[in-house]
Each structure stands twice: as C-alpha cells, then as structure tokens.
Structure 1
Amino acid sequence: MTTQESPTGTGKNTASPQISVAGIVMRDLRKSLPRRNRPIDTRSQPPTSITLHYNGTVVRNRSLEGELAQTVSNAHWHMKPYILSPDGGDGLQYHLVVFSDGSIAQTRDLEDTLWHCRHEEGNNMSIAVQLPLGGNQDATPAQWEATTRLFDELIARFGMAGRRRVLGHEEWSDSHCPGPRLMFRLMQWRDSEQFPAPRLYRVLYENANVRQGPGRIYPAALQMQPGEIFAAGHEVRGENIGGNDRWLHRTDELGFVHTSIVELVDADKSWQPPPSADGPEQSLRYLVLFDELHVRAEPSVDAVVVTTLRQGETLVANGLVSGETLGDSANWVALADPQGFVHEHLLRPLEQG
C-alpha cells in the first residue's frame, strides 16, 4: 500500500516495450521507473504465493496516463527514508501493476524479494500485484478481469497450490490494504474455485521424483518406488517432457509428479506390479498371523476389503509398498494371490525355497 499521491515523475511513456509473463502480454516498465543503485536479495526458489495491494489514498486521475504517473510517484515514495526502512527502498516494491483499462505492467523482476507486506515469508516468497486505486474506489470490470486472469496464469506457471495462495496484504500483517472492496472481490474469487475431488495414482517406476515445482529444474523433495499410492487434487502445466506438460500436485503438498511416471488407480482394476526390465521378480511367501485378517484394495485401513484370511494361511506376494503408517511402519505387503494389500506387521515372511 502507498500513501503518496502527487507524482514526482511524468509517467507519460505509454509506448513502453512489451513483454510476456505467464503467457500475458504486458508493458515493461522496469527500466523506466525511478531506482536506487543498491543491492537487493533475489529469490532462489519459485514463489509460493501472490499478494494483492492497492494504493491506499484515492487516485484522482484514473486514466492510463494518470495511473502511470501514480506508479512513478509510488516508486519515489517507497525510496523515501523511514517509509520502508531507515535508508528507504531501492525502488517500487510491487512486481506487477494492473491499470483501470485492463492493461498490465511488469515493474520489477519476478525473482526480486521486495518489502511489500511486512512479513518475512510474504516478502520473500510472494509476487506483489498492485492496483492503483484507493479509498472507496473499486476496480473496473476490465481491471479485475485482467487481475484474476493474471493470478490464474501465475498460479499455473509456478505450480502454486490454487487460489487460496492469493492473499491480501492485510492477511500477512496489520494493514487495511488492499481495502474493503478489493478484499471482498478477492475472497469471492477464491471461494469460487472448484476443487476437483482427489484421485489416487500409482507409481510405475523406481526412484520416481517428487519435485518442488512442475519441472526438472526444481529440486526433488523425495523419491517414490513402484506400487506406491498417492493422492493428487489437480493438474498444472509445467515442463514439457516427451510431448506432455501435465504435472500432478500432491494433496499433501509435498510436491509435483509428472503424469508419465504414474497411472490412475482404477477401483475396478486389481493391482499388478509394474513391469521390470530384469524380468519378473521372484515371488515372496508370507504366513498369516491373525484370524479374520482383511486384505485391502489399497494400502490403507480405510480401503475396501477385498477378502478375509484365516490364521495360518500362506500367501504369495510381489513385495512391499508404502502406505498408511500403522505403529512404526508404513510398509504394506502387495499380495499377488490373493491380490490386495496387508500391513507387514500382520504377516510373517517365510523362507524362500
């Protein structure tokens, strides 16, 4: 939020270069706005959220020329000593600005860490989007449509966890920004998101990476093994691998998985071990330790019961998979005959021979 009204620069250069960010064509104002030559921090990881700001005080001239002049004024205001710090900021503290006519400008590099919401995570990991309006002013229809379209594209580009990761400044710290009208619009827009029901997926290959973002440039958060089951709520667009740019966002928010290395779990299809380059694995045999033992369709106590076993029966299995943790173990035995899953603590492995 900015409280300065009077521009100290003209802001009349409406013929600024055009760039494309997240698939949206916009003005590039990064080199035309006032800046102070001082080092700043940059983000090494992809942003995880977006923060909405407004101007605070009324913007009297809401023509494009007036709003460009206001943006120049805001940059000067942010550089004043003791406004953001004793020495002042290095320039405008918003990455993107959306004007009343629906046009958008990039005003800072997206990886710049800016002082825009008085919150460590918000400053370090959030993209700041500002609308030059204030007081009781509201966004124009074209302005709000462009703003929400920008939000959706940034969410998809950086693999953020849906619209709930778009916050108002006031949700980070004690502030009235982005004002009651924009905050109401933001909450309505967030609430309108249709969350798909989570679906279960099965890993097909060894050492399958779960990435921190939707692409191989992002570090691996963990690795999965064949047969592991996980839930994903929705797909996002990311790095294109083999003609496929769809990535699954795990519902536990551990990261992203490329759709080519998993298969959708079909409730009507029995589990089969993934193919091995070394040929079929040797079958394992287990002894049932308890009577009325349930074999589950998935490695979880809440999964459908496939069949019931009796104490002393011997079983043929394909190996272990990761599932719901019981006691101190998340290992479940993937049975070949009968087909299904039983937690390892309920069985005893038999010597092979």
Structure 2
Amino acid sequence: MYRDDFLQAKLNERKAQDAFRVLRLQEGKADFCSNDYLGITHRQLLKENGLSTGSTGSRLLAGNWPIMETVEKEIAAFHQAEAALLFNSGYDANLGLLSSVPQKGDTIIYDQLSHASIRDGIRLSFAQAFSFAHNDLADLEKKIQAATGNIFIVTESVFSMDGDICPLKELVAIAKQYHAHLIIDEAHATGVIGAQGEGLVQATQTQEAIFARVHTFGKAVGCHGAVVLGSNQLRDYLINFARSLIYSTALSPAAVGAIQQAYQLFPSMHTERTVLQQWIKQLTSAKLKYPLMPSTTAIQPLLVPGNQEARALAKQLQKAGLDVRPILYPTVPKGGERLRIVLHAFNTQAEINQLIQVLS
C-alpha cells in the first residue's frame, strides 16, 4: 500500500473541527437538499435521445458537433443575448471566463459570498481582486474608487448558501457610473426566477447592461453543463483564451441534446414555479425554533450556530425521513453554520408539514 500518511494531519484537523466531509446516498428520504427545484430530474422528464455519449475531443479538435452550435443559438435567443458558448460545468465556465478576460492592471471586485468557482477563476487571473461586503453597495463603491484598468464587478443573482438575491438594478447603476463590466452568475436563478425561468437579469430587463452571464444546467434545468452569454466578440475571445474550454473534452452530443430538451421544457413549467412559491411562503411564515435567514427563494437557510448543533438537528430530521443537510464551518464562517433547506415543486404538503413540525 502506498505510504501517504502526510495527508492524515489535515484530515485529523477536519475531524477535530467536526467538519469532516463524507459522501452519502439519499436513501429514499424526502428531498430537502438537492438543487432539483422543478423536479425535472426527480420525475425523469428528460428522455434518452439516441445521440453519441462521447464527443471525441475538445471543440477545437474533433469535439464540435452541429447540435452544439444549434443549441447555443437557441439558448442565446431564449436569454436575449447576442451569443452563447457551452462549457462542461458552471465551475468550468466561471474558471474560463474569470481567468482569461481580466488582465494585469485590471481590477475584479466580487461579492464576498461568491461561489468557490468564481473565487478560483479570480485566483487564476492576473488582475488584482478585492471582495466587497455581501450585497453592500456602499462598500462596493468604496472598492471601485481604488480600482485601476478595466473594472469587473462579479456576483450571483441568487446566492447558493444564503438564498438571497443581489440588488441587480442598483449594481447596474453603479457599473454604469464607473464604467465597470458586470458578470452575473445565474446558477440558482435559471429555471426558477422570471415568468419562464429565464433568470434575474431578464426578469429585471437589465440584459443590455450585463457584460457576461453564466447559466448552469445542473440545478433546476435537470441535466449537466453551463453556458456563458455575451457578445459575439466575447464568445470569440473565450474560444481563443478560456483554458477550461480549449483543453477539455467537450460535452457529448447526448448531453447537449438533454440541454436542448430541458430548454424546451422548463419555460412552460408555470405550475411548478407556483407550487414552489407556495412552499416558500408556508415555510417562511412558520414559527420555528431556529431563525431562517432572509430569503424569498427555494434556498431557505436555517441558522443553527456550531458544527455539532447543526449536525445534531440534521440527524434528527434524517431520522424523521427528511433529507436536510448541514452546512458547516469552514464552508461557511464560524457562527454561520446552518441547515440548507431546499424546497422543490415535487415536495408534498405532508412533507412540508412534517418539516415544519420537526423544526418547531
């Protein structure tokens, strides 16, 4: 057996912090943890499409299939963008976009609660970068005033751990004032926010003011992959400089076919979005033992400070047949430990009632 004992010290640190991560199966419990907001995956609404399960290479070599360019045009049209470029995942999209576009001498200013993929893309950039306090417009302006070069403001429309929404119209106004470029990650808004699930940018009719949007497909859209929306010039730039695109085997035609099916399906899922809002209203109006963080989305974080306390309450819910997962330090700051309750259109009234009963 290979001697890799040098890894054990860091693993022991995690265990001492009661923050050791393990992989777990769902085990047939009521789903209150997945990002399958509309139930496209739960109900297996996407069918086998008979397309190739392998793309055979990078899109710059043998991996560029006709269906890819067709679907990119369809997605761009739906999202009212000039152009679209598919990536293998939201992580790859953020990594490719943020590592390649901002240059040395430029400045990236990002919300401090931005996803790890945004942070990692920024780490790979040669631009200087500063975070601003979460959704704090005054702090953002303060950071902008010290910026140099091209300025990029990066945030999420719906935040994955807090469930709250960015003040997009105000961000657009600030970006215009300082000639900054807005990049919006719509991962948790796609399929859910807007009359057709088009996302927060189009719901607020700000698409003309956004430099780049990232939509991902592994959540409400029910499949896999992501897309960057922007100008034709941005698409050309990413094809030439985004390493996560250039040096990755492309999505398979079967995967892209599933994306195409999903985009034909989720815009008309009005009933599911209505049911989701009904469950959100019922949970947020209930009197619970621990406080819910302010959120009007399907992500409803219940603050349970302390890793041990959050784990204990999660285990209590698991025993009741409810699959709710704790989010622990260091994923969130100390004191910000929580249960990340995720509501779905396919949850039943009985499941919602049981959830509220246990949490009360």
Structure number having the greater strand percentage: 1
Normalization by structure 2: what TM-score? 0.23
Structure number having the greater helix percentage: 2
Normalization by structure 1: what TM-score? 0.24
Tell me: higher relative CO, structure 1 or 2? Use CA pairs within 8 A at least 6 residues apart.
2
- Answer with 1 or 2: which has the greater Rg: 1
